[in-house]
Structures are given as structure tokens and as C-alpha cells.
Amino acid sequence: MSSGSIASASSRSNMRLTSVVSHLSDSKPKVVICRDLGPATALLMNRTDIEVVLWPEDRGCAREWLLENIKGAVGVLVLLPDIVNAELLEAAGPNLRVVSTMSVGYEHIDLPLMAQRKIRVGYTPDVLTEAVADLSVMLALMAGRNDGVAYSLVKNGDASGSWSKFNWSPFTFCGPQLSTTASSPNRTVGFLGFGRISQATLARLVPFGITHCIYTGSPTSKPETARDAALKAKYKLAAVERVDLDRLARESDVLFVLTPGGKETYHLVDAAFLKKMKEMSVLINTSRGTVVDSDALATALHEKWIWGAGLDVVEGEPRIGTDHPLVKEPRCVIVPHIGSATFQTRMDMATRAIDNLIGGVFGTEMPAELDAR
């Protein structure tokens, strides 16, 4: 980088690591960046009022490097794999004012500890809403239309040979249609969580002829009847209704899991939930892998409790090998957590994370600050 220079950093366990350092000066606040942010990196490296220490390798930031280089830092920009806990804060010392994460999720940050230390926390909501909604609809179409099996036949063939040798029949590869038809005039979509991404997903589904929308909300949140009535009128739906988990499972033709992770939502979609779902229903998860019990879902698919599943997230990712029970299920379409993976959205996320970081460093407004209390 033209505005930076390469300086050696101390190493442990015989590891030789270097850091990209910008505008080195004892009088400037030091910030640590745990990953190259692509085109957005220049927004940091071109500043003359901060010292930037950047993890220099094209892989996840090594914990050893972070603990060494966080010393004396005023701010740190992290990603989901970078755990922000007491160990990191002790290594940083008393100067740390802000933790900015390039993510919507913040399970990797000990929020009570941040509140205790009066460290501000920034995250990146809103900017990835549209991209994740796009992917949610894509997965619904892929899972319902047997994309995994059909694509594999063309790409890899199967036991009977290639596509050209496949024995076609009228109902081969058929699956449940997302849109309504003359013989199936009603379609109910369900949302486990009904925040920004769910509402953006609903907007995309309306042209398919969706007739009913049901959802669950946090037990501590108040009903939003005025909003629901407005959505019902806007999209000319038969219903936009908040329901309990039992009804959500029983009535959804396509169920979108779009709720935060954490203890409160851990394995909300379990075997009991899945057994209540329709045999032709499709489950989509583009939020957090921990919300869905993977073993229960694999059983549900194998025993045909439900038709299919489309997953952008899986519990235990990225340690998901070809022997994983969900990977083995032909009606389960899995993509590797790419919900926000568009050039536009990732640039917006990186920029938001940087703006949060700078706001925290200099005690000004942060565009998206979490209430860590």
C-alpha cells in the first residue's frame, strides 16, 4: 500500500508475522484492523490522524498476532471469528475505547464486559438487508425445485450416468412450487423473526402470489398491529399475522429463519418443531446456524417430515465436511454463508465498520452503535 510501510511485529512459537502500519506516531491513536478490507482499506490507510496496524495475511487474523498488536490500541475492527473477551481487553490495556465489528451479529463480543469497561461497540445492520433477502428467496427456489440434485446430475452425473442418459419421467425432479397456481391458490410464508430482512424478503415474495404471511416475534416485543395492517394493505395479502411457534410450524409452506442467534433462540427449530411442519414445506435459514438443530433437520429430511431445506448458515460452520449429515441429504441446498456477499454490500459493510471505528476513536457519533448495557 502506497501510504503504508511494512514493519516487523514480534512473534511467538517461532512464527514470523509482519503488520502493515500506516503513519506511525506515538502521538496518534492506534487502531488494529483484523482483516484487509479490500477497496475500503484505503479509507483507513490514507488518514493522517491515526496509526493503523493491519493484519497482513489473506486469512483469518491469528489470535497470537492480535493479542500482541492490540497493546495500547484505542480501537479495533474485528470480524465474526475474532473473539472479543476479557483476554483481549487485558492485552489491549486501558486505552481501548471502541470495538467495531464488520457484521450484523455480535455473539463474538462480550457485551456486558464492554459495558463494564465503557467500551463502545459498533456493528453493521441495515446495509446487508437487501442482499440477504435476495439470497433467502434464491434458496427457497433452489430447495423447492431440487436444485442440488438436478445441478449435480448435469455437473457430475450420477450412478446411471450423465444427463443425456438419464431416464426422464413426467414427475422427475418435481417439487413444491413457490408461486400460486390455479390448483393451489393459497401460499403461506412464515418468518421466525420479522425484522428488516424478513420484511424485505416478504416484499420479494409478493409477486409470486403469496397470500398469507405469518411470523413470530421476540416474547418481549410488543405486537405491531398497525404495521401489520399496513403491510397487509400494501401487498394485498389475506393476512399478516403474528402467531405462536406451533402455528408457524404447522401452517408455513415456506419457513424463513431470520432471527438473531444466542441462548434465547438456540435450537428453536428442533425435532418437535420440524415434526409439526407440512410434508411439502421448505425450511430456509439465512440467519444463524445455532437456531436450527442440524441433527434434527437431517432426520426430518431423511425421513421426509418436510420437503427440503436451503441453508446459508449451519451450526459449527465452517467446519462442515462432506460427511456432515446435512451435506449428505439430497434435498438440502447449502451455500457457505454468502448472504452478504455482493461487492456493493461488502463495501457498504466495511465502510460502516470503519465509520463506527473512527467515531469511537474520536468520541463522535457512530453510525450504528450497540447499546452494550
- Whole-number Å distance between alpha carbons of 197 and 126: 8
Alpha helices in the chain (DSSP H): 41-45, 63-69, 86-92, 111-117, 129-144, 147-156, 196-205, 225-235, 245-251, 271-276, 294-302, 325-328, 343-361
> 3-state DSSP: the chain helix, strand, coil percent, rounded to 5?
35, 20, 45
Which of 23, 108, 267, 337 is catalytic? The answer is 337
List Cβ neighbours of 170 (8 Å cut-off, separation of 6 or more). none
DSSP 137: H
Exposure pattern of 75-107 as b/e (b: 16+ CB <10 Å)?
Answer: bbbbbbebebeeebbebbeeebbbbbbbbbbbe
- C-alpha cell recorded at residue 85: 473477551
Q: CB–CB of 282/255 below 8 Å?
A: yes
- Whole-number Å distance between alpha carbons of 181 and 31: 57
Please give the full DSSP string across 96-114, using - where no structure is assigned.
--EEEESSS--TTB-HHHH
* Cross-strand partners of 309: 283, 332
Torsion angle of the four alpha carbons 55, 315, 286, 248, in this order, in degrees rounded to the nearest 10: -150
- C-alpha cell recorded at residue 144: 423447492
337 catalytic per annotation: yes
- In 3-state terms, what secondary structure has residue 75? strand
CA angle at 187 for the pair 186 and 188, rounded to the nearest 5°: 125
Please give the full DSSP string across 285-343, using - where no structure is assigned.
E-S-GGGB-HHHHHHHHHTTSSSEEEES--TTTT---TTSHHHH-TTEEE--S-TT-SH
Q: Taking the CB of residue 313, how many other CB atoms lie within 10 A of it?
A: 21
Catalytic annotation, residues: 337
